[in-house]
């Protein structure tokens, strides 16, 4: 089959609004968490989140257009544009019928829905905004990117909770491998730091309530972890068929060598306690890539900072990798960015590509107390980035409903 390479990256995250600043945030172990500013959170037990900072959408998009977009779609357009520019794509010089967009979002335009319901709640005759539906539906990130650039290939969204972008990467790579397209714009965006989002996850008792010290609230693998910190933002990729990329002289940042999906078939929110679905997913992704377990240098885990999830994933890693698990680096970048839900797989896969490009392992920050349930022989890259020659990196994303995705990235060897 045709080979799929990565020729462009774009990021808008709680620890950096561009690829370069995101890289620095990962290298320096920056925490993106703080008190929520998008609304007054005092009524909720959780009052913290990892928000995008110092961002003005009208710096990128016309003011009139911004009014017609939910924040998640704004984030999508900004990250996609950086990826397109980073790849040096010139749409007027390419076959637009051979370029598609698959853009993920786990929730879509939650803010737009919330605002419309609140606005009309006390009105005898509701008057809903005619743009409400186009603003809130999860496919419009892909739609707006396609419309902006005239890309006429396949265009749709993948929605599988926190595995959404992992599935988008898989679907887009398949389109290229099977000869349907030559270039795919792929990514995910999320903007769920709104009252409904915080209230819903708070009711589930899924999020950290460490409001007095938000910077250390996201602490995967720490004995005192108490839930995830909600994040927002976007990440984007340009996936390209290898010969197409070479023909236009593109810089190749990594190869998407393998990927797989599976289901826990176990519970609506909890992972399988032994990580059986996650194990199958990683095993199949490695087999697709033709990579042995002892060839993997780094795993960017789903690592949400939840008591059950962290343990189940590490059990799955040990099941798949055996003794090789002790020779590789593992980390959760959610300790820095928080959990971007459907966009988590986007910025975490980007972290894997940046690790390959810059030979470092991003850290798991906020580690204070060892968890006796975690094997101390595992290198979870606590608190500081580590220099390392990374040739192969694995990215895991797992979602509510038991949806699992794994992707294998390799240094491009020509």
Active site residues per annotation: 162, 302, 339
For residues 240-262, b (16+ Cβ closer than 10 Å) or e, as one string?
A: bbbebbeebebebbbbbbbbbbb
**Would you say 12 and 78 are in contact if contact means Cβ atoms under 8 Å apart?**
yes
Select from 98, 31, 40, 361 the least CA-distant residue to 241: 98
- Compute the distance between CA of residue 275 and CA of residue 201 in angstroms, rounded to an integer: 23
Taking phi over 0 as left and psi of -120 to 50 as alpha, with beta for the rest, 209 belongs to alpha
Pairwise CA distance, residues 25 & 136, whole Å? 30
**Is the CB of residue 164 less than 8 Å from the CB of residue 399?**
yes
Pairing state between β 4-12 and 254-263:
antiparallel
- SS3 at position 351: helix
Cα distance between residue 220 and residue 298, in whole Å? 16
Four-point Cα dihedral 354, 159, 175, 96, nearest 10? -90
Pairing, β 34-35 against β 4-12: unpaired
Q: What is the Cα–Cα distance from 281 to 287, expressed in whole angstroms?
A: 10
Q: Which two tokens stand for residue 74?
A: 């704004």
Name the residue among 303, 333, 162, 305 with its Cα closest to residue 227.
305
SS3 63: helix
Note whether 398 and 405 are within 8 A (CB): yes
253 neighbors 353 (Cβ within 8 angstroms): yes
Task: With beta carbons less than 8 A apart as the criterion, state whether 262 and 237 touch.
Answer: no
Helix axes 71-87, 140-149, angle to 10 degrees: 40
Helices (H), ranges, 253-362: 276-289, 307-321, 334-337, 344-358
């Amino acid at each position: 089959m045709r080979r799929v390479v990565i020729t462009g990256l774009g990021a808008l995250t709680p620890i950096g609004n561009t690829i370069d600043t995101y890289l620095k945030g990962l290298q320096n172990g920056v925490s993106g968490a703080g008190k929520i500013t998008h609304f007054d959170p005092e009524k909720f037990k959780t009052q913290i989140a990892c928000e995008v900072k110092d961002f003005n959408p009208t710096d990128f998009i016309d003011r009139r257009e911004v009014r017609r977009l939910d924040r998640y779609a704004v984030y999508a357009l900004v990250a996609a544009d950086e990826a397109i520019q980073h790849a040096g794509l010139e749409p007027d010089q390419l076959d637009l019928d051979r370029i598609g967009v698959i853009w993920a979002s786990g929730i879509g335009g939650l803010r737009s829905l919330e605002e419309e319901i609140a606005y009309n709640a006390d009105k005898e005759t509701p008057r809903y905004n005619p743009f409400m539906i186009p603003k809130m539906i999860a496919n419009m990130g892909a739609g707006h990117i396609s419309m902006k650039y005239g890309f006429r290939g396949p265009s749709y969204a993948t929605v599988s909770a926190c595995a959404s972008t992992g599935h988008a990467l898989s679907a887009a790579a398949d389109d290229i491998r099977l000869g349907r397209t030559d270039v795919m714009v792929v990514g995910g965006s999320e903007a769920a730091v709104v009252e409904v989002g915080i209230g819903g996850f708070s009711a589930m008792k899924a999020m950290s309530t460490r409001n007095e010290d938000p910077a250390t609230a996201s602490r995967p693998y720490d004995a005192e972890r108490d839930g995830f910190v909600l994040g927002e933002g976007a990440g984007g990729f340009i996936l390209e068929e290898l010969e197409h990329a070479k023909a236009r002289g593109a810089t190749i940042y990594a190869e998407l060598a393998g990927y797989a999906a599976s289901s826990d078939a176990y519970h609506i929110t909890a992972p399988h306690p032994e990580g059986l679905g996650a194990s199958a997913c990683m095993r199949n992704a490695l087999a697709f890539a033709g990579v042995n377990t002892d060839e993997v240098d780094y795993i960017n885990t789903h690592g949400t900072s939840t008591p059950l999830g962290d343990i189940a994933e590490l059990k799955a890693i040990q099941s798949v990798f055996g003794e090789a698990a002790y020779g590789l680096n593992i980390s959760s970048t959610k300790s820095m960015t928080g959990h971007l839900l459907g966009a988590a797989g986007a910025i975490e896969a980007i972290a894997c590509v940046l690790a390959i490009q810059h030979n470092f392992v991003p850290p798991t920050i906020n580690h204070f107390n060892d968890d006796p349930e975690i094997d101390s022989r595992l290198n979870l890259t606590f608190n500081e980035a580590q220099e390392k020659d990374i040739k192969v990196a694995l990215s895991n994303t797992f979602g509510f409903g038991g949806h699992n995705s794994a992707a294998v990235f390799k240094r491009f060897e020509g």
